[in-house]
A and B are shown apart, each in its own frame.
Chain A
Amino acid sequence: MRRKKVSQYTEEFEAPKSQRRLSVSSVLVHIALILLALIVISPLIIPFFFTFKTPLEFAYNPWGLPEKLRWSNFEQAWKMVRIGEGLRNSLQVCIGAVLFTVPPAAMAGYIFAFYRSRVTNVLFYVVMAGFFVPVHMVLIPLYQFSTKIGITNTFPGVFLPIAAFGIPFWTIIYRSFYSGLPKDMVEAGRIDGAGHFTVFMRIIFPMAKPATVLAVLLSFMGGWSDFIIGLIMLSSQSKFTMQLRISQFIGNLGANYFPQYAAGVIISSLPTIILYLIFHKYIIQGTTLAGAIKG
């Protein structure tokens, strides 16, 4: 509607000239944006040209349509990356990361929002400071004492540090979310005789559902995308997460069997792309939040 208003006005003044100029720049912008979108998407599309071909077919006719749909490259890539195992391991890391990030953050955020005192405020700043710590700062001692207490090469050894790096952000989010809730709700619950715990479980936490959906989804993605913590913590092949398997695949196969490599690209990126297609609204929302906090 507002757009109409603008064009009305511009028509009144110098309609033909300004409209022509607008359309030229609009065409240029469209071309630029479509080109950029193609650049973004093409690395994910090009593998499909290569993957159904034999090495010979690939050498002679890399860009054309394949003679027929050969799935053997997929089978081999699947076996080489050992995707079944990788997915199972990653899933355990992700679930652990969610369980040890979201509830502690939701609880701590509740205290920081509703039980403000000098001590809790100081503690909040301590937790918030954790948001700015680079992971490199903890790697070596993390590895050392994990060896001592025997959690290297286990999944808790991976997801607990991931949780530690997720908790500050989600505590901040929960705190600001709770702070936006009407205070009367809590007081009403208190007057009705509900204890601290009941108020949280029955009133506050259910109302924070939008924050919880975001927290669960993005902590899951955090566990899924982790590379460096898995790299130093996991030593045996059978424990490797998807990302470690993929990085191995890059090193081992290199680019000698290119159609297979393309199949590996497709298989490895598929879970993330599916997640993105389903949840992109939440993922984008969460990212915007992250930017807002960091700012």
Chain B
Amino acid sequence: MAVAQTAKRKKKRDWYRLGFIALFLLPALAILGTFMFYPIKETFRLSFMRSSGFGEEIYVGWRNYQRIFASPEFRQGFVNVFKWAFWSVAIQIPLAFFIAFTCVNFRTRIIGRLRGVYYLSNVLPSAITAMLGVFIFSPTSGVIKTFAKTTGWKWLESIDWLGNPKLAFWSLFALATWAYIGFGIIYLMANIEQIPTEIREAALIDGATQWQYAWRVVIPYVSYAIRVQAILATVGSIKLFDLPYMVTLGGPRNATVTLGITLYREAFLNWQYGRGAAIGVVIFLICLVITIFQFSFVNDHSATDHSI
């Protein structure tokens, strides 16, 4: 009797429980469904259509993909983002590691104060970073130009940082390094701080110098975090849009064009939704492959992950 009663009550309560679960998941799933998952599905569909936003859509098969891969602008964007990714990993990560390591291991009063400074540039919105970039590199009276005029260095004055196709990429890259390195520093610092002090003491007692300690102990210890950093820098490069769009608009002569900029141009300047969507799919697939690659080594090294 009693058992039957509880069973009945439980069943009744289950409906209440289910309703509660549905109600609590609804807001998140509704927003995600409407503003993320439905648009993703639509982007896949659109990438096989010829569409300009008005009028009818015509199925064109793979033609959009053929078109974008044949376009020199898109190819240049493709080359640029991978070049950007390579140099991000090669330059930003060692620099971030140097700063993070020294901040953790040389704890003096001065360095303690500096730690907060390094992250400041990372919180500035990209529009302000772009504004600062123009402020520094501007050909008429930017900071470098003004400096060159005061010192009278003609060679420095004659350099056109943003107008020269060979230089514009590197000027932007320097700006991005300035803006984004804070994240790497903070993340690596958090990981280096996890290393037990005993390990450091043992290494130093055994006669290791700071640099041997960094090379032989710290880098292997945080190798997982470094790889995560490399992945994040790569994905970030693939998605790059704001800075080149605002500072150089992808110019001069497509020297700083990125996949994001080609998407924006195709979709919102040329009104070629289909081609824009195809570029979106390409960006998505590259990010997907990198993320899967990342997860495949998460499992091998979860033991060395101290960040979570």
Task: Give chain A's interface residues, CB within 8 Å of chain B.
Answer: 2-3, 5-6, 9-10, 13, 21-22, 25-26, 29-30, 32-34, 36-37, 39-41, 43-44, 46-47, 58, 62-63, 100, 103-105, 107-108, 110-111, 115, 120, 123, 126-127, 130, 132-145, 160-161, 163-165, 167-168, 171, 196-197, 200, 221, 224-228, 232, 242-244, 246-247, 249-250, 254-256, 258, 261-262, 264-265, 268-269, 272-273, 275-276, 280, 283-284, 287-288, 291-292, 294-295
Contact = CB atoms under 8 A, between A and B. Distances in A.
A227 B135 contact: no
B103 A224 contact: no
Given A108-B28, A168-B32, A140 B277 contact: yes
* Leading 3 A-B pairs by shortest Cβ distance: A141-B42, A255-B138, A138-B39
Nearest to B44: A137
Given A34-B110, A127-B32, A196 B127 contact: no
Contacts of A228: 241-242, 260
B186 interface: yes
B126 A227 contact: yes
A243 B178 contact: no
B4 interface: no
Contact of B43 (A6, A34, A108, A137): A137
Given A136-B241, A275-B123, A291-B232, 5 more contacts: A40-B117, A58-B141, A141-B39, A197-B20, A265-B128
B165 interface: no
B120 A41 contact: yes
Given A137-B281, A255-B134, A295-B298, A39 B178 contact: yes
Given A171-B28, A272-B123, A283-B123, A37 B114 contact: yes
B60 interface: no
Given A137-B40, A264-B131, A164 B120 contact: no
Given A111-B24, A250-B130, A30 B111 contact: yes
Contacts of A269: 124, 128, 131-132
Contacts of A33: 99, 102-103, 110-111, 114
Interface string B117-151: 11111111111101110111011111100100110
Contact of B288 (A44, A132, A143, A168): A132
Interface residue SS majority, chain A: helix
Contacts of B205: 6, 9-10
Q: Which size class do B's interface residues fall under? A: 35 or more
A236 B66 CA distance: 36
Contacts of A244: 127
A104 B116 contact: no
Nearest to A288: B190
A138 B25 contact: no
Nearest to A59: B141
B79 interface: no
Contacts of A100: 27, 31
A139 B183 CA distance: 26
A225 B186 CA distance: 19
